[in-house]
Every structure is written in C-alpha cells, then in structure tokens.
A and B are shown apart, each in its own frame.
Chain A
Amino acid sequence: MAKTKEDMLENTTSKIKLTASDYVIRGIGYVFITLFAIASIFPFLIILGSSFESEEMIISRGVTLIPRQFTTAAYELVIKGGTIWASYGLTIVMTLIGTGCGLFICSMTGYALQRRDFPYRNVISFFIYFTSLFQAGLAPYYLLMTQTYNLNNSYLAVLLPLMVSSWLIILMKNFAKSIPHELTESGKIDGAGDFRIFTSIMLPMLKPGLATVGLFLALGYWNEWYQSSLFLQNKDILPLQYRLYKIINEAQSLKNSVASQYVTVDSLPSESLKMATAMMTTGPIIFLYPFVQRYFIGGITVGAVKG
C-alpha cells in the first residue's frame, strides 16, 4: 500500500518539468556535497597513509596518502612500548562501567521526572537543570577534586564526572515521555511498585533512548582527555586519547629542544609514531560509527533544546 503511494508520488514528480535552475542547483549539490564529504575524511587518509610510511620518508618528503616506503615499524613500536594494551583495557573498562552506571542513573531519573503523578518532578528537574545554567568554574572544581575529594591521580576523577549530565537526563526524559502513561497505570493496577514498573515495563520500551544515551556516554568516555589532563598527569597507564595527547605534545617538545641543538632526530620516529598511535586509539570509533550514527541523529532530533 505504502509502496504504491510512493510510486504514485514518484510519477507525479517525474511529470513536473524541471527548470534550468533546478538542474543548476542539483549540479551544485552533487559537486559541493562530494567535495565536502571528501574534505571530511581526507585528513584521516593522510594519517592512515603516513602511519605506514617510514620515518625517513616523512621527514624528508612530508606526510602522504600512499606510503612510498611501506612499513609497519611505527605500529610495532607502539605495541612494543607495552602499555598500549593496558591503555586499551583501561579505556574499555571505564567506558563499560561508566556507560552502564550512567545509563542506569539517567534512565531511572529521566523516567521518574516525567511521571505526571510525581509531585516533586519540577523541583528536582530545576535542581538538575540549574547546574547547566550556572557553574562554579574550573578553579573551584579543581580544588574540590584534588584537595577535598583527594582524587588527584585516581581514575575515579575521570570515571565519575562523565557519568551523568543534565542534558542526558533531559534527553532520557523526552524519550520516556513518548511512552504512554497508561502503561505505568496498568503496572500499578497489577500491583507493581514504581521501581518494578521501571525495570520490567519501562526499560524494554526505552530501548531506543537507552541506545542513544548509552552511545553518547560511551563516546564521551572513549574520547576523554580533558579530565585526564587535569587529574591523571602522573599515571603510568593512561586513557587512550590522553595517551595520544601526551605523545603528540612530548614528541613536539622533544623535537623543539633537539632542533635547537641542531641535531637530527632520525633515531626517534616521532612522526610516524604519532600517526600509528592516532590510528590505534581512534580505529574502533572509525569502524563502529557508521553503524551507530543513526542513534546520534535520533538524539539530536529528539533531545534538541527542549527541557
């Protein structure tokens, strides 16, 4: 049925005569979108190509799309360094624990806050929302984390702050709103408590919301470098992106100091090392995101700006 309707629409469209300017705009569309799409992935191709290039070639002839002297030396060096797998383990564990706990907290709160029969919903919603309107700022936060909570050099300083955000709770609330209130009512009639209604009736219905919020959380944990740069400076095993951050900056400062002494840096393959580390720390995202991007799009259109 739907298909025939679509066919009919297609027929009417094809009967309408397109003007010259339609073709011009369509042409511009194809050219512009193609160029933009290529520009979006081009820098990654440079990094990918250069990660398989020998250090000498990068130094003498620059970065490249296609390696002129193919080698996996940089990757071997990253792996031989030993701690990359530990970093992987750390990031995966933090992502799993953080996303799991965060999902539980956000969905539970989001569900409770959209219940029409919950008299405290406005007070608590405002209490949560206010935190995105006014913040103490970095310095008081830093002092609290390091001196009061003593979380300097603790992985908890990265795990905990990323777990919940007012935006994710609001997003979850909007997803929960779209589930008919009658389901909660029927649960009540059957004698289920509020928590039971949430776990047995709501959670299965909230799957799209859980996927969206969970993926935002997971992306946040995987790409985390900011909290790490504040609190994990002296750790041996670093989250992946902070590890990349350190390698980029240390290679840079090392190179600057060496260059000032007029010595060549052939012995330290810093350029290809950066490229290989970048590929290894970001690879999983590049492979996975095409399959999950629709959930992020869902988040943008459902969550948008509404409180």
Chain B
Amino acid sequence: MQNAAVRQKVINDRRPSAGKTLLRNRTLLLMCLPAVIYFIAFSYAPLPGIYVAFVNYNYRAGIFGSPFVGLKNFEFVAKSGKLWMLTKNTILFNLAFILLDNLLSVTVAILLKEIQSKMFRKVSQTMMFLPYFISQVLVGLLVFSLLNSDTGFLNVVLTKLGMEPLRLYKTGDPWPLIIILVHLWQKTGYNSVVYFAAIMGIDDSIIEASMIDGANGWQKIRHIILPSLRPTIVILLLFALGGIVKGDFGLFWNLVGRNPILFQKVDIIEMFVYRATVSDFNFSTASAVGLYQSLVGFVLVLTVNTIVKKIEPDYSLF
C-alpha cells in the first residue's frame, strides 16, 4: 500500500509533458479511436438535436431554424395529463416487474438447487432460457396465438370445456396482467441464472452443518440461502430502481402497440415517443417527453449510485 503511494509520488515528480504522454500512448489511443468515433456519431451527435424540444419544429426550417417556443411543448403534454399518465404507467409496470422478477427468479433458483438430478436440471434450465433468445416480434405472435378470440389456444380450450370465449383483444382491462405475465415468462430463465450462481457459491459445508444441527428444508432456505443472497438482491433491486422510468418498448409495442383499444390502458413513455416520432412526425413533442425521461432517469441513476457507493462500494458504477 505504502509502496504504491511512494511509486505514485515518483511518477508524479517526473511526469512528462502532455505532448510526450500523448505520443507515447498513441497506439493505445488509436485502438480506442473507432469506439470513440462510434459514440460521437451515434450518442453525442444527437445531443444538440435536443433543442427540437424547445421549438415548433418545421421540416423546411430544420431544427435550428424553427421558431423557439420555450417550454410550450412540455406544458402541452403536462397540462393534458398525458405526461403524468405515461410516467405513472411506466413506473407502476416497472415496480411490478422488479418485485415479481426478483421474487420469481429467487424462487426458481432455490428450487433448481433442490433438484438432485443434473440431467433434469440442465434440460429444464435450457428450456427456461429459450424465451430470452427470441425477438420481441415473435413474442407478440406467440401471445396472439395463445390469446386471440378467433383461433387462439386459450379459447380453443375454453370452447372445448363448454365455456364462453374470452375476447381479450377487445378490451384493455386484462392487459396490465397479461403484460406482466409475459414479461415474467420471458425474463425469469435469464434472471434466475445470477441467483443460481450465487447459491452455488455458498459453501456446502455451511448447509451440511445446519442439516446436522437438525435444520429442516425451510429453515435452511430462510436462515442460510436467503441471507447469503441478500447483497445480490439489494444491488440488483437498486439498479433496477435507477432504471424505473425506462420502459421495455419492444415488449409493449409488439403486444399492444398497434391496437388503440389496448394501448390506452397501458401506454408507456417509450410508446408515446415512438408514435409521436414515427407515425405523427411530431418531433418537438416527442423530444420534449424524451428529454423529460432522460433527465429523470439520469438523476435517478446518480442517486442510486450514491446509495450503492455507501452500502457496497465494490458494486458502484462509478
């Protein structure tokens, strides 16, 4: 430790000039250049365009030639109650996702550990991992094939049982629940991997010692497995909270995005911005809502990172 400090001091004392450092590291700098150019072109270059949120955008005049309107675009979406509705939906869905994701993934991981047959465990894990690998487009089709009222599997079964078919694509009410279930279906296999790895990392001798002391299965989970998962759970929960204003656009769009009867109930920020941009070409409103989302998200991540830094410095992002 002291050695390192001394070395640092020596390095500081004979720090070469900026030009020399630049020259000496030219190869490493050049190796970073393609990535730096990429981020300038696709992440930094769009930033000045945020200005479009403060103008009444006109195609001919371009972003910087259009008349400046100050915060009018923000006022417009805020006053209509739209902004609040979108924020509320996005946050409520994310809260449900975060809580249920963790609950279910931890449960799956714990139960997987209970399974003795390696073969059984491998096969079932592979099967549960499949939904992670497919595109959201296909997820949309899978859900439609299960639930639509004309040919859907659910209604085939209901009709066979002599029951009335459910017209799920005609009303928005059941969709919050459906979206949450589909999200869990798609993400649990992937999410449980992190927890399963953490459980496998628990020293077997601790569990065995507890069993020799007469701990039953539930006590083992309650007093050994869950406490040892706690840091992982807390960190993942906190980071998920940092992203609570960011919606899973692909999932929502492919399930309900093009059906106005459905999406009214479950509209999220991303869907509104996408419609405003791609269908309505209302770039000013879209950008106002997008900027609002980015700013809130930015503040949240910084807050979360500060908290994580306090409780578990090793895991902080920066």
Contact = CB atoms under 8 A, between A and B. Distances in A.
B135 A225 contact: yes
A59 B150 CA distance: 7
Interface stretch (A75-83, A92-100, A278-286): A278-286
B145 A46 contact: yes
A48 B112 CA distance: 28
Nearest to B194: A300
Nearest to A125: B318
Q: Which secondary structure dominates chain B's binding surface?
A: helix
A88 interface: no
B39 A164 contact: yes
Interface string B120-164: 100110111111111111101111111000111101100100000
Interface string A110-131: 0111010011100010111101
Given A118-B28, A131-B43, A307-B317, 11 more contacts: A21-B219, A25-B217, A37-B124, A63-B156, A120-B28, A128-B35, A143-B49, A160-B38, A248-B137, A300-B190, A306-B315
B153 A46 contact: yes
Interface in B198-230: 204, 208, 211-212, 214, 216-221
Contacts of A29: 111-112, 114-115
A74 interface: no
12 contacts: A22-B216, A26-B116, A30-B120, A37-B127, A63-B145, A105-B34, A112-B32, A136-B46, A138-B290, A161-B42, A230-B278, A289-B129
A263 interface: no
B294 A195 contact: no
A219 B53 CA distance: 34
A37 B302 CA distance: 38
Given A19-B217, A59-B151, A160-B42, A137 B50 contact: yes
B211 A278 contact: no
Interface of A: 9, 12-13, 16-26, 28-30, 32-34, 36-41, 43-44, 46-47, 50, 58-59, 61-64, 104-106, 108-109, 111-113, 115, 118-120, 124, 126-129, 131, 133-144, 147-148, 160-161, 163-164, 166, 169, 193-195, 198, 219, 222-226, 229-230, 241-242, 244-245, 248-249, 252, 271, 274-275, 278, 281-282, 285-286, 289-290, 293, 296-297, 300-301, 304-307
Contacts of A115: 28
Q: Which secondary structure dominates chain A's binding surface?
A: helix
A289 B130 contact: yes
